Amino acid sequence: MAVLVIADHDNTIVRDTTAKTITAAMSLSPDVDVLVCGSGAQAAADAAGKLAGVRKVLLAESDALGHQLAEAVTDVVFALAPGYDAILTPATSSGKNFSPRIAAKLDVNQITDVIEVVSADTFVRPIYAGNALETVQSSDAKKVITIRPTAFKPVGDGGSAAVEKVGGGTAGAREATFVSEEVVKSDRPELAGAKIVVSGGRALGSAEEFHKVIEPLADKLGAAVGASRAAVDAGYAPNDYQVGQTGKVVAPDLYIAIGISGAIQHLAGMKDSKVIVAINKDADAPIFQVADYGIVGDYKVVVPELMTALG
């Protein structure tokens, strides 16, 4: 039994989410290959080969693959699928986009957002926004799985897998074409993999206030910035900051929620954080039920004090 892991990468580096998905793959089989679909992605493929436990790295390149277009990625994977018993993808927005397409092409159901591998055919996954956990057993011969990266530890370095080029990745280029991308460049760590996350909620009241209060604290801590859905919907923060059921799922060492009441949909995205801090002036806010440390108070007072206390 061999497992294919489809890498999450930016053509230069492989993201932590890939190393975490490899951990999940290793619990299925010692024979784990990594597929890098990209454009000018040799550096990412080389980086993937250095991850511990990787048997070999497959590199597929085309313009469409450079933007991870689902049609093109599916084309590559479908051709490789006969050699694998399971195909694992980190459940990032890109992975969520193409993995079900691969599953349907292979005529199997996808096992989505797996947080625990029980055995080679049995997996645990959250449903209802994480308010319940479902243990499912798949009878499909080939398993197509997305892995929730925050539920697994990353493999380390120490591998020396060779990189092998594979073809494909041009299908669909006519029907779906890339037009443009606006990706926010930031010196802060990526939200999904950050050790510390500082999040702001609706209580901030404006985009200016969000910028003035949340960002300096995040920068002092070397943290990523997150936001509740309410703050994003109100336009205080961009959509890719959203932590929650419908946004990003994070599990940092430290999560600081400022002016966030703690709606179920937000808790679903951060409740697996190691330590949660809540700052809210409403002592009855549900966020305090999951917080390890809470301060009841106005963020306008507490955050400046926190900046001072951090020195």
Partner 1 sequence: MKVLVPVKRVIDYNVKVRVKPDQTGVDLANVKMSMNPFDEIATEEAVRLKEKGVVTEVVVVSIGPAQAQETIRTALAMGADRGILITSDTDVEPLAVAKLLKAVIAEESPSLVIMGKQSIDGDNNAVGQMLAALLDWPQATFASKIEVSGDSASVTREIDGGLQTLSVSLPAVITADLRLNEPRYASLPNIMKAKKKEIAMKTAADYGVDVSAKLKVLKVTEPPKRAGGIKVADAAELVMKLKTEAGVL
> Which of positions 195-224 make contact with partner 1 (CB under 8 A)?
196, 221
| Range 30-89, binding partner 1 (CB under 8 A) | 67, 69-71, 74
C-alpha 111/C-alpha 218 separation (Å) is 35
C-alpha 246/C-alpha 277 separation (Å) is 22
Give the range of 20-28, 42-50, 79-87, 232-240 binding partner 1 by CB under 8 A.
232-240
Give the range of 29-37, 47-55, 203-211, 248-256 binding partner 1 by CB under 8 A.
248-256
C-beta of 59 vs 232, nearer to partner 1: 232
C-beta of 53 vs 262, nearer to partner 1: 262
**310 contributes a contact to partner 1 by CB under 8 A:** yes
Q: How remote is the C-alpha of 150 from its chain's centroid?
A: 7
**119 contributes a contact to partner 1 by CB under 8 A:** no
C-alpha 117/C-alpha 30 separation (Å) is 14
**245 contributes a contact to partner 1 by CB under 8 A:** yes
Q: How remote is the C-alpha of 97 from its chain's centroid?
A: 13
| 84, 210, 236, 288: which one binds partner 1 (CB under 8 A) | 288
C-beta of 157 vs 305, nearer to partner 1: 305
| Range 82-111, binding partner 1 (CB under 8 A) | 92-94, 96-105, 107-111
| 82, 160, 175, 187: which one binds partner 1 (CB under 8 A) | 175
C-beta of 12 vs 137, nearer to partner 1: 137
C-beta of 24 vs 192, nearer to partner 1: 192
**29 contributes a contact to partner 1 by CB under 8 A:** no
**236 contributes a contact to partner 1 by CB under 8 A:** no
C-alpha 104/C-alpha 100 separation (Å) is 6
**302 contributes a contact to partner 1 by CB under 8 A:** yes
Min separation Cβ 108 and partner 1, Å = 7
C-beta of 160 vs 183, nearer to partner 1: 183
**163 contributes a contact to partner 1 by CB under 8 A:** no
What distances in angstroms separate CA 91 from CA 5, 115, 200, 302, 306, one per listed residue?
12, 11, 24, 35, 34
Joined tokens for residue 263 = 């709606």
Min separation Cβ 109 and partner 1, Å = 5
**192 contributes a contact to partner 1 by CB under 8 A:** yes
| 165, 178, 206, 212: which one binds partner 1 (CB under 8 A) | 178
Q: What 3-state DSSP class applies to 106?
A: coil
What distances in angstroms separate CA 160 from CA 56, 66, 124, 153, 215, one per listed residue?
8, 24, 32, 20, 39
Joined tokens for residue 133 = 């956990």
Q: What 3-state DSSP class applies to 297?
A: coil
In 15-111, alpha helices (H): 16-26, 42-49, 63-66, 70-80, 93-105
What b/e readout covers 155-166, taking b as 16+ CB neighbours within 10 angstroms?
Answer: beeebebebeeb
Min separation Cβ 162 and partner 1, Å = 29
| 20, 202, 229, 266: which one binds partner 1 (CB under 8 A) | 229
Angle at 79 between CA 75 and CA 83, to 5 degrees: 140
